[in-house]
């Protein structure tokens, strides 16, 4: 289901048609006026063919920016956008206090991304939030943070001197937009090679507790730590009033997730992270059958999703994990596990001989990472190739 308000037809009309909707609402005891209105909407939505086109339009818009360096913009809420650059999805909140950006995108897209942010927001960029340390998500940290403006600028502090006189001075903090991330992300970036390891690209506000909370533009923003998932630095970001979650690399509707064993990732942590987002951050559109709204979920790549999409992804991960675990219990080697093809039934949708967007992460890499994660071996680099 696609819950993008701009392009999604009504959920019931999409799947049932006018007659089916009327029958279902009648069985549920809905009032006649509601039945008539909803059935009329179903007729107007022109059934499945137009529906598929709308879904395709949503997915196309979400990945509009590819090789030309432009930025695709998809408005999800009145003050919330999904930005897509080089196939990578980012989240942008705007409002009277300025803008909040979730993930800075690749370094090569910084200029185009900053231009787009300035077109969408009348105020400065106030915060950058990193969901993990991957270069495609943090490459723009330094330039975007430098182009932003801390909310502390303009504040003054009162200092009581030893002689009991008072001094008022400007707040001494850096004027750049702060970069927020888990401590694990800072540590990974500091130890990496390339522009993402530069001092000004490193997160300036880090946390190790379960979540980091802030309020901007009247919305409460929860940066929720997801330990040992894709890596040991993952976070998902929930904008409560907008009802949007940005997942970072733990959720990729185009491919099996990268499990970076070298940086603390694990299949069990990946499943737990999807479970946590699905059960505590994302709310489905039910139980009212007419209600097509629900939490919108932005994956690292691919179209806008919702809570049932997380469930589908989680079930896939759990099934593959169970298959690999059963083979390990029988004493099978990694080569024997690969030959058993534990990803069968899922590879057509999430796998392939090569990773998407030229990322070197294959189905074989994923199965090897699952195997080594469950077997407790450090022999496999588990995603180092995807990071470096």
8 Å CB contact between 100 and 218: no
Indicate the burial class of 257 (C-beta count within 10 angstroms; 0-12, 13-18, 19 or more).
buried
Look at residue 237 in the predicted model and tell me its pLDDT.
98
Structure tokens at 96: 């009277």
DSSP type of residue 97: T
Look at residue 379 in the predicted model and tell me its pLDDT.
43
Q: What percent of the chain has pLDDT over 70?
A: 68
Determine the 3-state secondary structure of 101 from DSSP: strand
Q: Omega into 163 within 30° of 0, i.e. cis?
A: no
How far is it, in rounded angstroms, from Cα 245 to Cα 264?
23
Alpha-carbon dihedral sign for residues 245, 248, 254, 257: negative
- Neighbouring-strand partners of residue 90: 83
8 Å CB contact between 296 and 306: yes
Look at residue 6 in the predicted model and tell me its pLDDT.
39
8 Å CB contact between 58 and 2: yes
How far is it, in rounded angstroms, from Cα 353 to Cα 375?
24
**pLDDT per residue as tens digits for the range 42-77:** 433 333 333 333 333 444 444 444 445 689 999 999
How far is it, in rounded angstroms, from Cα 348 to Cα 235?
28
Among 7-11, 219-223, 278-282, 369-373, the range scoring the smallest mean pLDDT is 7-11
Structure tokens at 104: 């800075």
Confidence class of residue 78 from pLDDT cuts 50, 70 and 90? very high
8 Å CB contact between 217 and 100: yes
Reported in sequence order, the residue ranges of the chain that DSSP labels E, i.e. its strands, are: 72-77, 80-85, 88-93, 99-102, 125-129, 156-160, 166-170, 179-182, 205-207, 211-216, 219-226, 234-239, 244-246, 296-298
**pLDDT per residue as tens digits for the range 237-270:** 999 999 999 999 999 999 999 999 999 999 999 9
Look at residue 293 in the predicted model and tell me its pLDDT.
75
- Neighbouring-strand partners of residue 160: 166
How far is it, in rounded angstroms, from Cα 170 to Cα 347?
57
Look at residue 351 in the predicted model and tell me its pLDDT.
87
| Residues in CB range of 289: below 8 A, 6 or more apart | 12, 24, 25, 28
* Distances from the Cα of 386 to the Cα of 194, 334, 357, 365, 381, angstroms: 15, 20, 11, 10, 10
How far is it, in rounded angstroms, from Cα 3 to Cα 68?
28
8 Å CB contact between 208 and 199: no
8 Å CB contact between 138 and 102: no
* Per-residue pLDDT at 299 exceeds 50: yes
Roughly how many angstroms between the first and final C-alpha of the chain, as a whole number? 35
How far is it, in rounded angstroms, from Cα 346 to Cα 366?
12
* Per-residue pLDDT at 331 exceeds 70: yes
Question: Between these two residues, 215 and 198, which has the higher pLDDT value?
Answer: 215
Determine the 3-state secondary structure of 246 from DSSP: strand
| Residues in CB range of 27: below 8 A, 6 or more apart | none
The mean pLDDT of the chain is 79
Block residue for tokens 């001094």: 167
């Amino acid at each position: 289901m696609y819950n993008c308000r701009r392009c999604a037809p009504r959920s019931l009309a999409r799947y049932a048609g006018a007659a089916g909707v009327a029958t279902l609402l009648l069985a549920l005891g809905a009032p006649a006026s509601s039945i008539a209105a909803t059935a009329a909407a179903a007729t107007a939505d022109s059934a499945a063919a137009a529906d598929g086109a709308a879904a395709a339009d949503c997915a196309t818009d979400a990945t509009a920016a590819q090789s030309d360096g432009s930025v695709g913009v998809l408005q999800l809420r009145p003050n919330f956008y999904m930005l897509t650059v080089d196939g990578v999805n980012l989240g942008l909140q705007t409002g009277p206090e300025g803008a909040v950006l979730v993930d800075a995108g690749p370094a090569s897209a910084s200029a185009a991304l900053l231009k787009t942010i300035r077109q969408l927001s009348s105020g400065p960029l106030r915060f950058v939030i990193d969901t993990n340390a991957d270069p495609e998500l943090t490459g723009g940290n330094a330039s975007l943070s430098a182009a932003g403006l801390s909310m502390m600028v303009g504040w003054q502090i009162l200092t009581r001197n030893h002689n009991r006189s008072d001094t008022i001075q400007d707040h001494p903090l850096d004027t750049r937009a702060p970069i927020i991330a888990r401590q694990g992300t800072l540590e990974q970036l500091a130890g990496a090679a390339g522009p993402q390891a530069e001092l000004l690209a490193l997160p300036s506000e880090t946390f190790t507790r379960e979540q980091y909370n802030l309020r901007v533009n009247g919305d409460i923003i929860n940066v929720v730590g997801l330990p040992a998932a894709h890596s040991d630095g993952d976070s998902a970001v929930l904008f409560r009033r907008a009802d949007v979650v940005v997942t970072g690399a733990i959720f990729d509707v185009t491919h099996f997730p990268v499990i970076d064993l070298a940086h603390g990732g694990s299949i069990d942590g990946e499943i737990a992270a999807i479970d946590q987002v699905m059960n505590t951050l994302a709310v489905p559109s039910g139980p009212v059958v007419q209600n097509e709204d629900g939490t919108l979920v932005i994956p690292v790549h691919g179209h806008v999703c919702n809570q049932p999409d997380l469930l589908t992804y989680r079930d896939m991960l759990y099934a593959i994990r169970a298959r690999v675990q059963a083979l390990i219990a029988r004493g099978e080697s990694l080569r024997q596990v690969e030959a058993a093809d534990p990803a069968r039934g899922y590879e057509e949708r999430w796998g392939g001989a090569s990773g998407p967007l030229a990322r070197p992460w294959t189905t074989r890499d994923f199965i090897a990472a699952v195997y080594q994660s469950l077997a407790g071996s450090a022999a496999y680099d588990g995603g180092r190739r995807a990071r470096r």
